Structure 1
């Protein structure tokens, strides 16, 4: 007999169906119902084909415990379907109603000083609270049952921006359960946490607590495990609601939105539990490297998705949470939206559709701003909607491939961030950004990967900094180089194991062998304004007193000071070690050289500095991040999908210009 056919998990492609999703969070409960037909008219005018409903609607759906008011949502679902607009339906569990906190104060999280985080904002729930989970499951169950067969439903959106910590008593009890499962016995826990230091030995599980306010430095591994625990508890909340909606609608994909580079979620693990990986992205329009920050987030999200992903939120104009909130200059919203598409997004969405008139985010922009449909923001949104519709069938479900992988791991980040480290100036995200920026400025496209992933598809693997590495990860790096891959690694890598226990010699012996380091004598962090001079460049932030093994090449050497004559950059065959953070231009030149030697090259040669080139499938995206016109040399003849024009030999891009070219 033939094997039974395996059911295919739903995916983003099941929603897009040859088009780019375009729309955003729609919060019509903030407005009189008479506004809804006007919203639909404007949505159709702008080419909106998808809206997210219900994200912050728990109090509207359940005004009193156990009551249900679905009538307004019924009318909205019908209205969207009647007008050809799909609905991403959210479970409303990120913002519980006041009655839940009043009746069940144990659902409210507590900070490390024991203070309660009250209702009145959002995300005021304890991930460990049995009462919260029960009420969240009940509203999710009823929501899923009611709309399972509604034709407007295209995607489930669970909760919103999971980001809560909790140091309360119920969380403490769950933390102890988590520790028992991880370690099995107190002897193993005490060994992992190094409790022989400062008389911290635990003789009863009841003594194990979250890392609450302490007189002095907290136990680093206790803090590390609490961060792991927090990610796992939030994931449990997500999975519980996901499983409810999957039971009712196994054919509808499920997602939740990541906040990029937020320290509280191990997004590698989370992504494996999602049908669609989605992220929120809010670069600062005044940041000269805002586009690079966006590219980093897009590369990371695409890599977690292992293909097309969803831009769940961005701002059409200013946000409201920076010290000074600048609008996006003319054309920047279009440029950054198409950049997301170039780097793998099959959905471009916003928070939110109509800018609020009341509430904490009334100055956060919407697709329809306070200026209304005549305002510049909405007019630019209309243009973007038309362009996304024009290129959708050519773009969706196509893939971007990269020859370079940047390694990133949340557990290593968590371990390296302890308050007792050698330099508070060393910030993991800053180092990661510096290395990705150097590659981006060299027009080199990158994936992200976990250090235990299969690295064989890549010509070059880049490790900006991974302070803590498992034995499996170290063996993986060793095997990658042994099999012919090129590896370049930054300082403070491989220092500790998964329990934040310092490796013998200050760096794992296998890595020292790999990089040709005989002895790592001392770490030499650099103060503000202090430099590490070398014969090739100036180093910033950090330096190291390294003795090279015999026969290993010093590609750069420290000049002057305590490290005079010692290697700053080592090369041992195809393995490179960089013991400082070179200044930006030097890091760019170094990584470009290593990439070229490894056979990893830009999509196009000779690009102007402010032009980004990305190849997605058979399409070439050119994105100009400057205000002055530039000319790009092109091999052969191309067709621009945005203008319909033929392009031969060269193309001029104006202010924030974009071209989507097919050969």
Structure 2
């Protein structure tokens, strides 16, 4: 069930949330009123509060201090600013870790992860869980009826620093998880292929997490994959435990937590988490580079589909520079608004930042904020105020679901985790990068494409791209076969269909579970060395991987062949028709530019075309929410968008224009 923010005043008025993490405990009390005034100047209507406040709220095991938080809650409410109130459990206070060092995580080398940073707790620690839930209960009892409370914010960025814990607590919980999954040790032995290297287990107590095994000595691959699954589930169980207390005491208040769908953050299977929340929230930070804006759009798109197309909450992003990259570059003019509105275009109904006031001390003092060190008389704050006004003008967008595209990219956490494990044909493969390359190719062609979880609903799409779909259980193979039989057009790539859910190879030749569907057979992989290239007869150049393909179905077309290298003359790209549907295979990494003509042909055969006029394709990204069309400038130049937004409509460099269907921008 989707429940949105419980706005304290005028709850039925459509609006977009706008705000930030607020950390008043970092500042003296006289600053708080200045903050509330400046927030209203900027148009802030919601803040996340108390995220890292455990030590301030509970300074000792039997000592509580809510007075300062009471004052801040009342002050914000008096200024008509709603509160997304954290449970404050993100990082335990020093008194707790001193009294109970057994809550501290342990890395795979057996080293304790000590306090001094944040998130220093074991997701499976019963001691930590007990103390955390005492705090959650205290917060719910005190603030559940506060008029400023709009939502509960469980912990913060669960798993950002503690997703993999190899402690004895984790080992015990891992065994319980495995018992639930497999039932018997015999079934686990079968699934883990423990006859290899004399690993056969005789009792559950013999099983450990995949701790350090020594140089060039690789842990069991299924053990590694199951530990990744378990670790994600362990964090989800903690989420459920906090949520249960909140629902018991405050059943009418919606609950969320902030995902981190961005870059290479991979430890949490958010597709399995989304149903635990009343609404999905996400943190996103742009990584500099030529695909930075595309990655941001890709992530926002995926979050929108994790949310089922319903409104979601952008909990954190940055107004300008961050502090954790090797070189932290300030955002160029227009990027603050572009980044924010890209998320709105893909379904966000709240745009928030880390943080409100830039810290004077601590590890993130050089991370930008809405109110920077320079104060209100600054370009950043003026841009913040301008964005606040824009979001007020866009209030009609609030509550509007995303409009599905006709094409989609399938995203699968199991394949991400498993395809990049050790002992594979190459360690250069990057699952998310391949998916992003296809997304960039769609953008360059001006074709809208959704990013959807593998376990979600994707049968309604006419074109489905499933890059590096390495893990294909029998059920998924059947879904894909049915999709094609029903008239869908599937595209997959190298290293797809190789193993089942246990990391066991589908025998008989690659691509295993998809071999019959694709009408091809591969006897042996042919990955490329770093300096090797494989030219194709369509003018493209492949890197990273090639395949020695034999076409097994006479009806399968060869769309391109290898021109050079060990596979010269062999098929490189194939397509097999199945009645009205088809299944295509791309056997090498082409990169965004070389993928464009390949994707253009496959999309045209699927009947999927761009909704943009030819001169805007590649220059402008189009996203649609109901009657609202978002045009996002992908260039550093002004673009004339009159053809889609009305006479004289110009899109500024890095700008975003929102127009209603047939209406005025």
User: TM-score, length-normalised on structure 1?
Assistant: 0.95
> Structure 2 residue aligned with 1:11, among 4, 29, 37?
4
Q: In structure 2, do the counterparts of structure 1 residues 359 and 509 end up closer, same or farther at CA, with 3 Å as the change threshold?
A: closer
State whether residues 603 and 614 of structure 1, in contact with CA within 8 Å, keep that contact through their aligned partners in structure 2: no
CA contact (8 A) 2:20 2:316 kept: yes
Say if 1:239 and 1:273, in contact at 8 Å, map to a contact too. Answer: yes
Residue equivalent to 1:644 = none
Q: Distance in 1 between matches of 2:104 and 2:83?
A: 30
Is the aligned partner of 1:26 residue 2:22? yes
Name which of 17, 31, 34 aligns with 1:35. Answer: 31
Question: SS at 1:504's partner residue?
Answer: coil
Which runs of 5 or more structure 2 residues have no equivalent in the other structure? Answer: none
Contact 2:345/2:630 (CA < 8 Å) preserved in 1?
A: yes
For residues 314 and 623 of structure 2, the distance between their equivalents in structure 1, rounded to whole angstroms, comes to 18
- Written as runs of structure 1 = structure 2, the 5 A alignment for 1:307-346 is 307-346=310-349
Residue pair 2:497, 2:512 contacting (<8 A) in 1 also: no
Aligned twin of 2:576? 572
Residues 1:520 and 2:522 are matched in the alignment: yes
Contact 2:505–2:512 at 8 Å: present in 1 too? no
2 CA distance for matches of 1:16 and 1:57?
31
SS state of the match for residue 611, structure 2? coil
- Partner residue of 1:109 out of 105, 108, 125: 105
1:121 aligns with 2:117: yes
Partners of 1:461 and 1:627 lie apart in 2 by: 31
Give the drift of 1:399.
Answer: 2.5
Q: Does 1:586 align with 2:630?
A: no
Distance 1:450 1:332 in 2: 28
2:629 corresponds to which residue? 620
Is the contact made by 1:13 and 1:397 (CA closer than 8 Å) also made in structure 2? no
531-540 or 442-451, which moves further after superposition? 442-451
Indicate conservation of the 8 Å contact 1:524/1:545, yes or no.
yes
How far apart in 1 are the matches of 2:487 and 2:443? 24
Are residue 603 (structure 1) and residue 611 (structure 2) matched? yes
Alignment correspondent of 2:209: 210
Q: How many residues align?
A: 643
- Rounded to whole Å, the distance in 2 between the matches of 1:210 and 1:31 is 43
* Residues 1:260 and 2:268 are matched in the alignment: no
Whole-Å Cα distance in 2 between the matches of residues 547 and 197 of structure 1?
31
Q: Work out whether residues 496 and 507 of structure 1, in 8 Å CA contact, stay in contact via their aligned partners in 2.
A: no
Q: Does the C-alpha gap of structure 1 residues 661 and 429 become closer, same or farther in structure 2, counting only changes over 3 Å?
A: same
Q: Is the 8 A contact 2:494 2:588 kept in 1?
A: yes
Asked whether 1:66 is paired with 2:58, we answer: no
- Cα distance change on mapping 1:278 and 1:567 into 2, 3 Å: same
Q: What residue in structure 2 maps to residue 162 of structure 1?
A: 158
Cα distance in 2 between the residues matched to 1:398 and 1:558: 44
1:263-298 Cα deviation digits (max 9, x unpaired): 2111110011111111111003x4232110101100
- Distance of 2:652 and 2:349 partners within structure 1: 25
* SS of aligned partner of 1:176: helix
2:299 is equivalent to residue 300 of structure 1: no
Q: Residue 448 of structure 1: CA displacement?
A: 2.4
Asked whether 1:390 is paired with 2:386, we answer: no
Q: Residues 414 and 207 from structure 1, CA distance in 2 versus in 1: closer, same or farther, beyond 3 angstroms?
A: same
- Secondary structure (helix, strand or coil) at the match of 2:508 reads helix
Tell me, yes or no, if the aligned pair for 1:193 and 1:499 is still in contact at 8 Å. yes
Q: Distance in 2 between matches of 1:616 and 1:575?
A: 30
Picking from 401, 419, 422, the partner of 2:422 is: 419
Q: CA deviation at 1:450?
A: 3.0
Q: State the secondary structure of the residue aligned to 1:246.
A: helix
Alpha carbons 1:176, 1:206 under 8 Å: kept: yes
Shift of 1:362: 0.4
CA contact (8 A) 2:305 2:453 kept: no
Task: Tell me the distance in 1 between the aligned counterparts of 2:146 and 2:636.
Answer: 46
- Give the C-alpha shift of residue 633 in structure 1: 4.1
1:428-458 deviation line (CA, Å, top 9, x unaligned): 1221211121112222222222334333211
Report if aligned partners of 2:213, 2:219 keep a CA contact under 8 Å in 1. yes
- Residues of 1 paired with 2:20 and 2:617: CA distance? 34
Deviation string for 1:598-649 (max 9, x for gaps)?
22222312215332222221111112132222222415xx5xxxxxxxx32x
Note if contact 2:108-2:212 (Cα within 8 Å) is conserved in structure 1: yes
Match of 1:287?
A: 289
Deviation at 1:41, TM superposition (A): 0.8
- Partner SS state of residue 273, structure 2: helix
